[in-house]
Structure 1
Amino acid sequence: MREPAWLADRFEQQRPYLHAVAYRMLGSLGEAEDAVQETWLRLSRADSDEVDNLAAWLTTVVARVCLNILRTRQRRREEPLDIRVPDPVITPAGPDDPEHAAVLADSVGLALLVVLDTLSPAERLAFVLHDMFGVPFDEIASMIDRTPVTTRQLASRARRRVRGQAPPADTDLARQRVVVSAFLAAARDGDIDGLVAVLHPDVVLRSDGGATRTRHTTVITSARAVAAQATTFGRFSPFARHAVINGAAGVVVMASGRPLSVMAFGVRDGRIAEIDVLADPDRLATFDLSAFT
């Protein structure tokens, strides 16, 4: 029987990886942490001597825990077409900060997480595990009780949807910030033409105000429509603080020490293609944003 201390040490080595898998599966930081903790509880109760490959065993367990959460979420969802902006990973790190490289390497854009949330639980698991973490299809198949061929088809279907709705964004953070700064300046000045100039023609704005708002989520498309909406934000521009949101340029809007919103930007071809706004006061209160006050 393996010593509990040895097992705990091995698990802690795997914890960042397991959390990364769970976050991409669930889009929720709290649920991801719960899934990782449940994985530890199952490991602590299992006969670890029978586990030949601990990393693979843990990946299977956390994936199945996440799959159950997704299926429960799907059954409870009252409005299947509603879009929920995922929990953002927020850091004040800048392009010259040594922490930035690590943040960027472990990041996944909010726009991609939004698309992943539209997939079926099995499609999401197949895509995340194979395309993001390189898990073979035959291993994934056993997790969802499908054949490897069917599992490959699930991942392929998910991949096509991701490519169509969340194409790759620019990765140069400094250039992203130039575009975001231009957006904020134009919004502050109420400059519609200036806003349109920095917005991609097919830009999508998603704003999640929380369940207590009359409309939980607002989705606006087209540059001119988004520009018109952005002018209403202009008065808050002076309170915007640059941040790194899921590895990309973003802002945290603070007023009187209170967070009003977190805005993540997806820049493509030098223009803003996606804007994801989290303005749910209950969810914002769960983040430590003291660095932006």
Structure 2
Amino acid sequence: MDSAAIDRFEASRGRLASLAYRLLGSAADAEDAVQDAFLRWQAADRERIEVPEAWLTKVVTNLCLDRLRSAQARHERAVGDWLPEPLLQGDPMLGPVDTFEQRESVSLAVLVLMERLSPVERAAYVLREAFSYPHAEIAGILDITESASQQHVHRARRRVAAERRGGGEVDPAAARRIVEEFLAAAMSGRTERLVAMLTADATAVSDGAGLARRLLRYTTRERIASYVRAGFRPTAAKRRLAGGSPALHFALVNGSPAVVAVVGVRVVGAVVLDVGDGKVVSLRGIAAVDRLARLGAAWRRYEPGAPMVDAW
């Protein structure tokens, strides 16, 4: 393959990776899908491809649909073992974030909600909301009619809107204040301060640092507050597990306010908050090593500023 063909693919790599991440919710799987697309591009009769960008978009979309439909993916999602892989603000895989719809489509909350859509609905929704594809092009990518594309997007929008709690724009200054208040409440040992920060229907999910067989879920404010208070209580065992005494930083993760725990330059955990009307609607505690791989790599290139807590 000549350098021009390689350059043509590389010019689309970032957009393709962002598309694949939104469809799969996993940076590692997204990178695999893009690499598979490169192999197909390498083997293709490129002289017969009229619009390379459209061809590559279709290939990546269908590779992602194959993964979503696979037996392993269906099993993982069915038994509740799946969480989106978090990405640090500024990660190019987050892709276009110029509009509210684009930012919303890559939040952890919406990535989780999209799990309830069919693979084709999810693809149509992402192509339309995040990448502004016209329905005629979505129809060509998914091999459906233009009318079917409109119906899939309409159904997906309706389901996401009906089940989406919270959300909305949170500017960085407000996001930092929320995290500071949350962290102060979590470390105070007083659950009533945490309860006051949570909406009446708040939820929490934790991967148990990868030690639990399934995700841990909490569905009342009191249970969430107890989980958070226990999680932020320093112990020697937790420090051994983390490999040291973490510093706690504020960061934006998938556009949402988050607490990131760091030992040296190594990310050992993140708590991502979904906020609505100044209260926490949901939170996700992520500490499994494989889920933090890309965020950790990005952190090593990041300049976070002073931590909110120097040594936990």
TM-score normalised to structure 2 length: 0.80
Residue 199 of structure 1: aligned partner:
198
Equivalent-residue separation in structure 2 for 1:19 and 1:51 (angstroms): 21
Q: In structure 1, what residue type is equivalent to 2:87?
A: V
- Work out whether 1:240 is the aligned partner of 2:248: yes
Aligned pair in 2 of structure 1 residues 238, 5: CA closer, same or farther (>3 Å)? closer
Q: Which runs of 5+ in 1 are unaligned?
A: 94-98
Q: CA deviation at 1:174?
A: 1.2
CA contact (8 A) 1:188 1:233 kept: no
* Other structure's SS at 1:273 match: strand
Residue 284 of structure 1: aligned partner:
292
Residue 64 of structure 2: aligned partner:
66
Matches for 1:165-244 after TM superposition, within 5 Å: 165-167=163-165, 168-209=167-208, 212-214=211-213, 216-236=214-234, 239-244=247-252
Q: CA deviation at 1:260?
A: 3.6
Residue 16 of structure 1: aligned partner:
14
Percent of residue pairs bearing the same amino acid type: 36
Q: In structure 1, what residue type is equivalent to 2:215?
A: T
CA contact (8 A) 1:85 1:277 kept: no
Matches for 1:15-54 after TM superposition, within 5 Å: 15-54=13-52
Q: CA deviation at 1:13?
A: 1.5
Q: Spell out, residue by residue over 1:131-182, the C-alpha distance to the aligned partner (whole angstroms, 9 max, x if none).
A: 2212222332344443322232222221112112235333312101101111
Residue 111 of structure 1: aligned partner:
109
- Work out whether 1:270 is the aligned partner of 2:278: yes
* Other structure's SS at 2:229 match: helix
Residue 120 of structure 1: aligned partner:
118
Q: CA deviation at 1:19?
A: 0.8
CA contact (8 A) 1:199 1:223 kept: yes
Q: CA deviation at 1:126?
A: 1.1
Equivalent-residue separation in structure 2 for 1:162 and 1:263 (angstroms): 23
Q: CA deviation at 1:255?
A: 4.9
Equivalent-residue separation in structure 2 for 1:27 and 1:77 (angstroms): 16
- Work out whether 1:57 is the aligned partner of 2:55: yes
Aligned pair in 2 of structure 1 residues 25, 8: CA closer, same or farther (>3 Å)? same
Q: Which runs of 5+ in 2 are unaligned?
A: 235-244, 308-312
Residue 149 of structure 1: aligned partner:
147
Q: CA deviation at 1:252?
A: 1.5
Aligned pair in 2 of structure 1 residues 254, 84: CA closer, same or farther (>3 Å)? same
Matches for 1:83-102 after TM superposition, within 5 Å: 84-91=82-89
* Other structure's SS at 1:86 match: coil
Q: CA deviation at 1:233?
A: 1.8
Q: In structure 2, what residue type is equivalent to 1:84?
A: W
> In angstroms, what is the RMSD of aligned CA positions?
2.9
